[in-house]
Structure 1
């Protein structure tokens, strides 16, 4: 929504233009009364209140409150007639044409919100569903909606991220387009008057929503219909707004964002409330969300890989009564250098990569094959080493730990890709520390890694080398299985 999002939301009366020789003093008095005697002022009324220099003593005899649907409000006054203030095309109907329409559109093209003050032939009662009698225009009221200084940078950020921004408002579409132009929105000239759009449930309506960028004279129900139309076309839709007229769209959007300065209703239905009411906070919000989700994905792959190979090794030893290839202290070194320390730094690293669907699929596709390969290589190396009668189980565990840790470090490298300075340094440091545990005497003593036969180390190197293509093949197989489960299960194509 334009107001309060890309604009500051505080309107200011820039000019009042009497029409057809209307008395300027009478116009000013009428506007003052309409604004000051409104018990539920909207931003427009507040702007007129700030503009008025006197206090009205008129007496209200009937009132029709403003509605986003009809886009006008009205009051009847004792001895001062009946008056309407609202959107020119909604107030004047068929009379909105000719030179008056050209005058309004000229001001709208300059970015002003234009309202018409009209005198009605019949009195109004206190009813919310009142119909509009015949009216006669008396003045145009021009209001300026100030564009936020940081709005261009915010819109540019979302454009760079591949996000299509659409601006919807109850104002004149030409005015909204002019404001969008000042905010630096691409496609600002693709503006459309929502009153001319097809039925909300039609294909033509959905086509217009997708093809255009700026929409004016939009009703609350149309805002919701626009959100649903975009969702039906496969888009993920976020909606920002601050008014009651935005509630329906906020509620049905995939992510509703409300301003803290907005109505209580919008804050109640939104998933996210900007406490400083500043749309410029959204890039930081998106970046933080991406950092959390993407880094959790990386870290989860590491932890789930350990869970996988731990379960497999436990099953093999428990079901087949095999010796467990690792001691508790060995699990500590594996956890430190392949999961715990790397996960700490990866979780805190900035990450602006766009979040895509398939979180669980990608995590399982990395972790489960990696866990299977680590378990198979570890148990295989442990068994091969014990084929030599001179190598007992304790010495066999040394090369088993070497294989498990090396393959787990390769999984860490795959998870950290693409490498940058931080991730490259992290992977290299973990590999160095892990190697140090085997190379220095105190490391071997601390982690119970006695030196064993040279051929066993060579065999371990072979297991490690073979494990790399198996890791890659496992991930590709998992991705293909998730993409085509029916074919993998032998179902007809």
Structure 2
């Protein structure tokens, strides 16, 4: 009975009633959630507490300095929050926009005809076709099943596929791993099971990348340090709250060590990376995916459709029997291709052969990645014939002509091809009986079908990139070992026989030895999905950051388990759904660009973090020295804001926009902290030298001392900016130098003028920039230049020393 489906009028009726598969659930956050999370962040709550603290003392004392501190801090927190919200919304829209490039279409039956529509246009009671590799898009009821097996592991964690019969419930979010059929849409849109789970579980939350883990650690340490220093200062200064300078000092410490800007600039950097990669043809489905790729130590990849183009062609047919002529065998192959419910790339290669139009299917066991074979029971002119098709090395073990087939196989040199055995099942049992134990099939072989595939032209560039960066590559494939080895050789990658292992051999390895075996081998052949999953789980258990590249349903468990999942655009629907990155047009050549962009993100965040943490360590040094040794503490909340603008904010944005450093940073934490400890110590030391020599000049005031110290800090931090960005491959060094000169010139203008213009006068007053007297100008410049040169030279030496140690 032919399925009719809905009529066009019935479809329109359901659309008018809102029974259409439109959902308010998204993988990314809603704009309202972005605003609320940023406005009411922990950082903002703490800073708001400091603002209220300053405001309280202003109200009780009337000191206008506290009012200006309150206004300044409020402006900074408002600007940072606005930028954070803007950038996160921009990143969300970038993710949403590129995700639209993935066509999510389904086949439905309407008016008795098959139609291809967008999945969002499905309405209640639509009849939807489901093939192997398709994801179930709405909850429904199975109305026709051809040995259809559904995997619900993404929903329930249940790893075993479930055989679905007519009338069974089928849940959105599950996917078909074997067979095919049709189901009727029941719950659509927000009412579907997958969308209800998403609303509850908030699936837009990300697994943290290695860089994000490091940043979170830094944030926690700085936040804890700020609280510790403030508490220590309060304990050491009983009754200190009666002194407004004390109130401003502890407020300065708290505000300075909260790394709100560092988190902001990291988000900006991630958003820029997504924008740049989306322009060259990759869909980034998670905000941190690009940076994650730069941390990969091992890349595991499928062969067919990944290293090769999945453009299969029959190279030759090798007969194994005299009972059938070559023409009869080819006709059976064409019949198998026409009548099998599987429509994969391998079967499509057999469509070149003419089918027997008198044949009809009476039963079928569809192909699955688990069994690597399929059987078709045919009725041809009232005679029953069961034919079997699958991997040569698997089926030949059950062949009645095993030795003969092996002899011909070796003689004809077929091992370099992807080989399948085509034969007749001779046990006489029904397929239902055979399905209970496929190991008992008896095969009379008809021929070996040798298939070739075209290697991707761009794959060697990616392989060379991985080798250059000491990233190991492992091929995880369901094909036979020698066919994989031949493909590797074709792309210029010579793999020895002892570096091959099969899935059956993997099964014999215990959990103690499995990691050693994985690290020794490069080709893993005849793998089932659970073999691939075991390999990925083992690598992750050993804390090895692992990527998995694939395109088929058999790759899905491994892609889902890996740290970094990459899928091809022409891969199965469900594989693309769970991957972190999808390569449009199957462009393997994009991987080097994504890798470089990942390194650029890491280097950009590292550079920005150096600027932020240099300031933080300066505040820590100044606080400790003033607390325990009664040294001058020249900073106030507004002067810290001034340092943030000249030393961090403006330099950070130009680094984020123009950084071109794609070299691999091997030790983020060591590189970061070794840099900031040295820079902060030199800058603080130079500022105290400025204080010492200022006090040698007669007529100085406390304001003169603080201005000399502040000016020395800002001048040297400009040189610190240059020491952050300098490296041998930097293309923008001239721009950075001009930028640093511009920053110094702008600050000098503010410090050396007594302009009567209202705006300039207001800026100087607000940021507590006093006039730098002529007698202190030469001293300030000399100290800044000498200390800056020392800082720059020490950082160059430090960088080379660390590089030589790695």
Same fold at TM > 0.5 = yes
CA RMSD of aligned residues (A): 3.8
Find out whether 1:153 has 2:461 as its counterpart.
yes
Q: 1:184: which partner in 2?
A: 492
Alignment of 1:183-222 (within 5 A): 183-187=491-495, 189=497, 190-197=499-506, 199-222=508-531
Gaps of at least 5 residues in structure 1 are 480-493
Retained in 1: the 8 A contact 2:478–2:526? yes
Q: 2:418: which partner in 1?
A: 113
Find out whether 1:460 has 2:783 as its counterpart.
yes
Q: 1:351 to 1:99 in 2, by over 3 A?
A: farther
Alignment of 1:51-66 (within 5 A): 51-54=352-355, 56-66=357-367
**TM-score after normalising by structure 1:** 0.82
SS at match of 2:328: helix
Find out whether 1:354 has 2:658 as its counterpart.
no
Q: 1:455 to 1:70 in 2, by over 3 A?
A: closer
C-alpha separation between the residues in 2 aligned to 1:207 and 1:328?
56
Q: 1:100: which partner in 2?
A: 405
Q: 1:435 to 1:87 in 2, by over 3 A?
A: closer
Retained in 2: the 8 A contact 1:377–1:467? no
Retained in 1: the 8 A contact 2:369–2:554? yes
Q: 1:491: which partner in 2?
A: none
Q: 1:486: which partner in 2?
A: none
SS at match of 1:7: coil
Retained in 2: the 8 A contact 1:119–1:135? yes
> Which residue of 459, 476, 487 maps to 1:168?
476
> Which residue of 306, 330, 343 maps to 1:41?
343
Q: 2:395: which partner in 1?
A: 91
C-alpha separation between the residues in 2 aligned to 1:441 and 1:361?
37
Q: 1:160 to 1:441 in 2, by over 3 A?
A: closer
Alignment of 1:445-456 (within 5 A): 445=754, 448-453=771-776, 456=779
SS at match of 2:431: coil
Q: 1:265: which partner in 2?
A: 574
Q: 1:406 to 1:262 in 2, by over 3 A?
A: same
Deviates more, 1:306-315 or 1:108-117: 306-315
CA shift digits 1:368-399 (9 cap, x unpaired): 56445534543563465245441234443443
C-alpha separation between the residues in 2 aligned to 1:173 and 1:366?
49
Retained in 1: the 8 A contact 2:565–2:579? yes
Alignment of 1:39-438 (within 5 A): 39-49=341-351, 51-54=352-355, 56-78=357-379, 79-93=383-397, 95=399, 97-105=402-410, 111-121=416-426, 122-125=428-431, 129-131=436-438, 132-187=440-495, 189=497, 190-197=499-506, 199-233=508-542, 235-309=544-618, 325=634, 334-335=643-644, 338-347=647-656, 348-356=658-666, 359-360=668-669, 362-367=671-676, 370-371=679-680, 373-375=682-684, 377-378=686-687, 381-382=690-691, 385-386=694-695, 388-420=697-729, 422=731, 424-426=733-735, 428-430=737-739, 432-433=741-742, 436=745
SS at match of 2:472: coil
Q: What displacement does 1:47 show?
A: 2.0
C-alpha separation between the residues in 2 aligned to 1:439 and 1:185?
59
Q: 1:128 to 1:411 in 2, by over 3 A?
A: farther
C-alpha separation between the residues in 1 aligned to 2:512 and 2:444?
38
C-alpha separation between the residues in 2 aligned to 1:267 and 1:373?
51
Q: 1:396 to 1:14 in 2, by over 3 A?
A: same
C-alpha separation between the residues in 2 aligned to 1:155 and 1:470?
38
CA shift digits 1:74-120 (9 cap, x unpaired): 01112241111011221121647544224335667563211111111
Q: What displacement does 1:35 show?
A: 1.6
SS at match of 1:165: strand
Q: What displacement does 1:26 show?
A: 2.2
> Which residue of 312, 323, 334 maps to 1:32?
334
Retained in 2: the 8 A contact 1:198–1:204? no
Retained in 2: the 8 A contact 1:337–1:431? no
C-alpha separation between the residues in 1 aligned to 2:784 and 2:792?
14
Q: 1:58 to 1:108 in 2, by over 3 A?
A: same
Deviates more, 1:105-114 or 1:170-179: 105-114
SS at match of 1:149: coil
SS at match of 1:139: strand
Find out whether 1:16 has 2:305 as its counterpart.
no
C-alpha separation between the residues in 1 aligned to 2:617 and 2:482?
60
C-alpha separation between the residues in 2 aligned to 1:465 and 1:153?
42
Instruction: Work out the number of aligned pairs and report it.
Output: 474
C-alpha separation between the residues in 2 aligned to 1:185 and 1:466?
48
Gaps of at least 5 residues in structure 2 are 1-301, 755-759, 761-768
Q: What displacement does 1:179 show?
A: 1.0
C-alpha separation between the residues in 2 aligned to 1:204 and 1:323?
62
Q: What displacement does 1:29 show?
A: 2.3
Q: 1:461 to 1:39 in 2, by over 3 A?
A: closer
C-alpha separation between the residues in 2 aligned to 1:365 and 1:424?
23
Retained in 2: the 8 A contact 1:113–1:142? yes
SS at match of 1:10: coil
C-alpha separation between the residues in 1 aligned to 2:743 and 2:506?
66
SS at match of 1:29: helix
Deviates more, 1:316-325 or 1:276-285: 316-325
